Amino acid sequence: MNISTLKWLRILLIAVIAAFIAAGIYAAYQRSKNVPIIFAPKDVLETVWINYKKSYVDPASGRTVDPSRGGVTTSEGESYTMLRAVWLDDHQTFDASWKWTQANLEFKNGHLFSWLYGRRPDGTYGILTAQNGQNSASDADTDIAVALLFAFARWRDPSYLAAAKSTIADIWSNEVIIVQGKPYLAADNVEKNFTGGIVVNPSYLAPYAYRMFATVDPGHDWNGLVDTSYSVLKQSIDLPLDKKKSVDLPPDWVEVSRTDGSVHPPARSGPQGSLDTNYGFDALRVPWRLYLDWQWYHDARAYTLLSGMKYLQSFWEHAGLLNETYAHDGSVVPPSGESPAMYGGTIGTMMIMSPSDAKAMYDHKLIALYTPDYDAWVQPLSYYDDNWAWFGIALYNGLLPNLWATVTG
């Protein structure tokens, strides 16, 4: 290497170092002035995805692990990994997650998925039947089927489409209950065996998914399930349920009458204990799912429900934050701090009601979770918060395309 080349290499190295220093100084200045730093959202999503895989996806097996719960795996967790992977075109991670899910969670006599897997009392790993882990969870089954449809749309492997069709057929056969000729989605596959009210989790209801399912399973009334889902959502938001009043928040749980489809507060316990009507851990997903149906299919009912959740907007404008759990009457459920998941889900309603509030929430409660200094979250997020912060950032930036539309037009 001659002297001239060495000279230019030194100049280039100095220029690169200067650029990094300047970027760091600018970022520090922005922070000192409390000015939100502008990032390329897609780059943020890809970077935190890489970190998520390091923290929560076992590289040897593809299993998604929740360390905060003793290293368990849920069908929900696998569905989130599959969705994030297909949206980010991460074929390798998608396949690893899907193959592990098929081998370890898929029913032996069908195509739904056991909801809970982990270390059993005898030290072996498998389905945690002592916690009813052998039952399905209809949200995860739905999200897995959507992820498989998206995978077929993106990578054109017909095995994904075949698997999606099998799961979709079993959702209808095992998790949909007919009331007066109309289909309703139950929380799991065992509700069909009970009498009394049907346990329903409103955050499991995904009208956009049923529209996709109708295109590959025209023999079942999936569009009817769209309609009953909106009916259940509207009733569960409007009715006081177990409180004296409602402030138009979707609840975590309800029961649907097997006689007439009317909605009531839950009277039975679920796999994880008593069921409540709070707007919290589960229900925060309702605005996100509704916004997708509005964005992808323009159903006015989604817009109406989202624009009616004014209590959240009022609370945000008054307090500058949202608590992680609210009772159905709007009172804060203690102890209740803040959670990234709440912002990631709730931003869907803010985007409809007030773009300025949505921007403030995004700037100060979602993208503020990320730092370019480390290309990571400022503080490590739990499995659930990591997913829902990611989903919220992606939703706000329009980075959750309906990949199935590339197949159906």
The pLDDT value given to residue 236: 99
Phi, psi of 57 (to 5 degrees): -115, 120
What is the spatial distance between Cα 210 and Cα 205, in angstroms, rounded to a whole number?
9
DSSP bridge pairs for 116 = 74
Which one is the CATH code of 39-399: 3.90.226.10, 2.120.10.30, 1.50.10.10, 3.20.20.110? 1.50.10.10
| Cα three-residue angle 334-130-286, rounded to 5 degrees | 45
Roughly how many angstroms between the first and final C-alpha of the chain, as a whole number? 57
Which class for 6: exposed (0-12), middle (13-18), buried (19 or more C-beta within 10 A)? exposed
Burial of 318 (0-12, 13-18, 19+ CB in 10 A): exposed
Which pLDDT value is given to residue 8?
55
Structure-token pair, residue 180: 């007066």
| 265 CB neighbour count, 10 Å cutoff | 19
pTM of the model: 0.91
* Residue 297, CA distances (Å) to 84, 308, 317 in order: 21, 19, 30
Only one residue has tokens 């817009």, namely 303
Element at 212 (helix H, strand E): helix 207-216
Question: What is the residue extent of each domain of the chain?
Answer: 39-399
pLDDT in tens, the chain (409 residues): 555 554 555 654 454 444 444 444 444 444 444 545 567 999 999 999 999 999 999 999 999 999 999 999 999 999 999 999 999 999 999 999 999 999 999 999 999 999 999 999 999 999 999 999 999 999 999 999 999 999 999 999 999 999 999 999 999 999 999 999 999 999 999 999 999 999 999 999 999 999 999 999 999 999 999 999 999 999 999 999 999 999 999 999 999 999 999 999 999 765 556 899 999 999 999 999 999 999 999 999 999 999 999 999 999 999 999 999 999 999 999 998 999 999 999 999 999 999 999 999 999 999 999 999 999 999 999 999 999 999 999 999 999 999 999 999 8
Best CA proximity match to 112, nearest among 66, 24, 173: 173
